[in-house]
Amino acid sequence: MRFGAIGVLNTALSLGIFYAITWVWPQAYLLANAVAWVLTVFLSYVLNRHFVFSADRQPFLRGVAKCYLSYCAGLAISSLLLLLWVEGIGLSKTVAPLVNAVLMVPVNYLFARLFTFRCREE
């Protein structure tokens, strides 16, 4: 439930960043996707570290690095889907990120659970 709430917050922020950049520079939708991703992955790590996975003992910088590494696959998937939706099937640049947001939630949770916040057995 908390992962979902943080996901909703991050999705709203990510979409806000995406729409702000594309409002100023409409052709830069892939750049807007990347900028939104960089900013919201960091926020996601900080919030999930404390509120979802209770990983406060994990070294912060190591955790941030693992988070970005695990979410790189998500960025690649998201960017490819964005290209497919916009260039391939002609979906609006406004609607395409919403479709991606829904599709990427389970993917991002798996990356976080299995890699970023994976606890080592002592």
Q: Distances in Å between the alpha carbon of 28 and those of 16, 52, 119?
A: 14, 33, 38
**Torsion over CA: 110, 16, 68, 97 (sign):** positive
Res 119: pLDDT = 59
pLDDT of residue 29: 87
**Unique residue bearing structure tokens 């999705």:** 11
Q: How far from chain centre, in Å, is Cα 37?
A: 5
Residue boundaries of the structural domains of the chain: 2-116
* DSSP of 63-84: HHHHHHHHHHHHHHHHHHHHHI
* CA gap 115, 32 in Å, rounded: 26
How is 25-73 classified by DSSP, letter by letter?
Answer: -TT-HHHHHHHHHHHHHHHHHHHHHHHTS--TTS-HHHHHHHHHHHHHH
Burial class from Cβ neighbours inside 10 Å (0-12, 13-18, 19+) for residue 92 reads: exposed
The reported pLDDT for the residue numbered 63 is: 86
- Taking only the tens of pLDDT, the chain with its 122 residues reads 788 888 889 889 998 999 999 999 999 988 998 899 899 999 989 998 888 887 777 788 988 998 898 888 888 888 899 999 999 999 998 899 889 888 888 888 888 888 887 755 44
